[in-house]
Structure 1
Amino acid sequence: MDLKMRTPFYIAGAMLSCLLNITPALAQSDAPVTYYHDAGSKWPFSPAVRVGDVIYLSGQVGFDANGHLPGGMEAQARAAMNNVAATAKRAGVGMDNVFKCTVMLSDMKQWPTFNKIYVEYFKPDRLPARTAFGANGLALGALLEIDCMAAAPAK
């Protein structure tokens, strides 16, 4: 199947992933919502949002501490996972609380390289449920983007 024919399947997969990612929030529609945002951020989204007992972490790309995208999947994967961990911590949870991740890769051939880095951030018996798919274009030229959901202990 050529790319033109596969595109509807990619779009349908992304839409299904989005629907699956909001399911816990729908079940808690009367729960209070807390937005963790950066004052003065140039980005039009919150890095994390808490709805009831779930923290939704926005997609993270592999920006390093200086705001640059390093070269290569390994460096970007490590930076993206560091960003996920930092955002989770800011929202009051740790990587042990992460229960679901969605990974978008610009090249699915890089999946093994990403996985090598990804597993370093979780205990072997606490790997989150996960979806991964190829994307033909990611924000800011990133090689990957990862968003996650984490269980948040009751306040």
Structure 2
Amino acid sequence: MSLPTFHLVDAAPQAVAPFSQAAEIDGWVFLTGQMPTWPDDPDKPLPDGIDAQTRRVMDNLIIVLEAVGLSLDNVVQVRAFLTEFDRDYAAMNAAYQSYFEPGSLPARTCVGVTGLAVGALVEIDLVARRPQ
């Protein structure tokens, strides 16, 4: 087994804690959970509502994926975290699903949590795999 590579992606939103946006080992790429913050202005208010926040999170994940030479087509597994699970689950699913081709949905876990960094409604992380 090789040593991991840690990716810091300048184009991605600034990290809100000490972490790399992605870690890679043996073709597996683990993306840190993204928040609905703006890559170009970390002080800009979060988007309003779960639909807009989910889309911002997915766009942030795409920035990181592209920086490491991958796309959503390489995603194997996703975890989503919602602060208002009962209220936001359906709307988050609709926004999330629009990013994937029909029949190409990764495995996924979605859980309700009591809070997220920066007051976000949603955070999503994922695991991708490089083609062999």
Distance 1:44 1:122 in 2: 30
Higher relative contact order (CA 8 A, sep 6+): 2
Residue in 2 that maps onto 1:83: 60
Secondary structure at the aligned position of 2:63 is classed as: helix
**Residue among 50, 73, 84 paired with 2:24:** 50
- TM-score, normalisation: structure 2: 0.87
**Residue among 9, 12, 34 paired with 2:5:** 34
Residue in 2 that maps onto 1:136: 114
Unaligned runs of 5+ in 2: none
Mapped pair 1:112 → 2:112: no
Q: Match for 1:98: what amino acid? A: V
Q: Match for 1:101: what amino acid? A: V
| Count of residues paired in the alignment | 125
Between 1:100-109 and 1:62-71, the stretch displaced more is 62-71
Residue in 2 that maps onto 1:7: none
Q: Match for 2:47: what amino acid? A: P
Larger helix percent: 1
Distance 2:33 2:27 in 1: 19
Q: Match for 1:54: what amino acid? A: W
Distance 2:116 2:25 in 1: 27
**Residue among 54, 64, 83 paired with 2:38:** 64
Residues 9 and 67, structure 2, Cα contact 8 Å, conserved in 1: no
Residues 82 and 110, structure 2, Cα contact 8 Å, conserved in 1: yes
Q: Based on CA coordinates, which of the two structures has the bigger radius of gyration?
A: 1
Following superposition, the deviation at residue 113 of structure 1 comes to 0.5
Distance 1:41 1:103 in 2: 18
Moved over 4 A (4+): 38-42
Q: Match for 2:106: what amino acid? A: P
Q: Match for 1:118: what amino acid? A: Y
**How big is the alpha-carbon RMSD for the aligned residues of Structure 1 and Structure 2?**
1.7
Q: Match for 2:119: what amino acid? A: G
Residues 27 and 130, structure 2, Cα contact 8 Å, conserved in 1: yes
Distance 2:2 2:99 in 1: 29
Distance 2:15 2:83 in 1: 26
Unaligned runs of 5+ in 1: 1-29
Following superposition, the deviation at residue 31 of structure 1 comes to 2.3
**Residue among 102, 105, 109 paired with 1:124:** 102
